Every structure is written in structure tokens, then in C-alpha cells.
Amino acid sequence: MPRTTPVNVGLIGAGRIGSFHAETVARRLVEANLAAIADPAPGAAQALAHKLDADGAYENVEALLAHPGLDAVIIATPARFHTNVLVQAAEAGKAIFCEKPMALTLEDADRAIAAARASGVPLQVGFNRRWDQAFAEGKAAIEAGQVGTPQLLRSLTRDPGPFGGDPARIPLWTIFYETLIHDFDTLLWLNAGARPVEVYATGDALVRPDAKANGFLDTAVVTIRFDNGSIAVAEANFCAMYGYDIRGEVFGSQGMVTMGDVRRSSMMLFDKSGVSSNTWRRDTEHFIHGYTAQLAAFVRSMRGDQGMVPSGEDARAALAIALACIESITRKAPVALA
């Protein structure tokens, strides 16, 4: 029998994106209730819970998982903690929405998938680009055969500048694990049924060349060959001074589809300085619909709607490409995927 009462959701990790997800649950989803928040930083969970009227605020995962009536969790901790927290939540019988990456090794990815399967709980991973209207319409056009057989694919992520991060505080290989992982999932999703067979990656520190000696990369280009003959390119840079630039493209035997636009709208200003347009500056602005739609789909999964959402297996497939990129950079050579 379909569930009729609101789904009680707990947030684990009250940082920037976690706080945004919590606000989405509390303010934008009528079928969900923000029940509790956990974060180890003193006062962080309490402050966010007070702001969003959540009942519980905790400093550890165990306490949150024991919160009365809790049905599901959103995991938005730093990436290195994702797998262990996911396994804890699965063993507690909670439905799981986990931010990307789900894991940093294939072994941990398998452990996460196995834990969710053993407990029989839904597991969805936060590849929000699938929920963006332009990307969703592009996917539909490809599935309808409007571009024919995919031959060349492209996906890019350029974060808005100026770059203000401290390279010393950014984990090694972040550009692959946390930035390009979105593009890898997008390319796999748009090229459905095709298996990646070879990866070649090149990268550099062009935004912060002073950090290159420590292994920091802020710019990367990846070429992926698929078993259906198609070739894909993914690229990323941490500093696009003109705005937050997310785009995709699929060129096929019968046509092409493009997705994404750095412009906030089709409005153009014509004045004495020339022609200009406002651009997106934050992911939570650009993808507010996508972020909301993915959590709405997660809540619906608790009501028996088993739609095609990014799964643990999807997250593992994208991770395999990220790991091949790291090996390719290290070896300075293409890497074959099993």
C-alpha cells in the first residue's frame, strides 16, 4: 500500500550543500519532513535545526539514526566519510540519498551497494545534472533517435571565479572525484548501453600554478572511448571568471543536441558598452530545479515509485572512470577499463 504520511528525513553533514538540501526538504517538498540534523562541528546542527524547525540536532551519526520515526537520510559529509556513513545508515534500515562521490575506491563502492541491497533500502546518488530540464530534454531526444547513433559526446564543468580555495586544504584528485565525476555520470547516462573501454586524462594547475608541485590540479581534460565506437571528452576548470558554466553535447549520425547555458536567461542587455547577459554564479542557483527534483524523486521512492534514478551502480561506473583518470595522469598513458 502506498505511503500517505510525510517521509521523515535526517541530514548528515550541515555544510553548504547539506544545508541547501535540508532547506529543500523543509521548505520545498510537501511530502517530506526534516526531522533531524547531525554534524560534528559544535553548534552546527543546532543552528540549522533551529532555522528550519527540525526536531533533533546531534553531533554524531549514531544519535541521528536513533531519532524516533526517522525514515531516510541525506549524506552530505566530506567525501571521505560517505561510504562508512552510508553503510551505517543502511544497517539501520534507512533509505539513503548520498552526495557524490559515493565512495573513493571500487571496493568501498561495492561495500556500499552491498549494504543497501542487504538491508533492502533505496539508495540514490546525487547526480543532479540528470534532473536539469535541458539535460533531461536532451536525453529524451537521444532516446527518441533524433540525433541518430552517438559519435562524439562532450561534457564540461567550469566553476565560477575568482578561485578562492586553499589548494593545501583541497584533497588530492578532487577534480576527478568531485568535479568531473558529474561529467562522467552525464556521459554514461547520455550514451546509454555503451561501455567505456579506454580513458586518457591530462591535467595541470593553470589557475594556481604555485600549487602544482604538491599535486594540486585545477584543470583537466579527459578522453573516453566507448565500445560502440563513440568518443567523449570531459573537461573541467576551477575558475571561469564569467560564471558557472555547465554544458553537454551529443553529436550523432543524424544530428546534434546541446544542453546547458551559462546565461541565467535569454535576456540580453544592449547599451553603450555593448551586449551583455547575466550568468549563473552558484550551483544552487543554476540547478535549483534539479536539486529539488532529485530529492523529490528520492522521497517518491519511499512511496513505491521506483523511477530510473542514479543508483549505487551508476555511481560505481562514474567512479571507475575517475580512478582510471588518476592512473592515466600518474602513468601519462591511456588506461584500459576492464
Residue corresponding to grid cell 586544504: 169
Using CA atoms, how far apart are residues 171 and 184, in angstroms rounded to an integer?
19
- The H-assigned helical ranges of the chain are 16-27, 44-52, 61-65, 82-91, 106-119, 133-143, 174, 180-190, 283-286, 288-301, 312-331
Q: Could you tell me if 155 and 257 are in contact, meaning their C-beta atoms sit under 8 angstroms apart?
A: no
Model-level pTM greater than 0.75? Answer: yes
Bridge partners of 124? 97
**Rounded to 5 degrees, what are φ and ψ at 293?**
-65, -35
Per-residue exposure over 101-132, b if at least 16 CB sit within 10 Å of its own CB, e if not:
bbbbeeebbebbbebbeebebbbbbbbbbbbb
Bridge partners of 160? 240
Beta sheet of 32-38, edge-to-edge order: 56-58, 32-38, 7-12, 72-75, 95-98, 123-125
Query: What distance lies between CA 302 and its chain's CA centroid?
Result: 21
Bridge partners of 249? 154, 258
Burial-class residue 215 by CB neighbours within 10 Å (0-12, 13-18, 19+). exposed
User: Could you report the per-residue pLDDT of 174-189, keeping only the tens digit for each?
Assistant: 999 999 999 999 999 9
CB count, 10 Å around CB of 226?
A: 20
Q: Is the pLDDT of residue 119 over 90?
A: yes
User: Could you report the per-residue pLDDT of 232-285, keeping only the tens digit for each?
Assistant: 999 999 999 999 999 999 999 999 999 998 988 888 889 899 898 998 888 778
Burial-class residue 69 by CB neighbours within 10 Å (0-12, 13-18, 19+). exposed
3-state secondary structure of 246: strand
Query: What distance lies between CA 216 and its chain's CA centroid?
Result: 21
Using CA atoms, how far apart are residues 98 and 115, in angstroms rounded to an integer?
13
At 290 the pLDDT is 85
User: Rounded mean pLDDT of 110-123?
Assistant: 97
User: Could you report the per-residue pLDDT of 200-242, keeping only the tens digit for each?
Assistant: 999 999 999 999 999 999 999 999 999 999 999 999 999 999 9
Band (2; pLDDT cuts 50, 70, 90): low
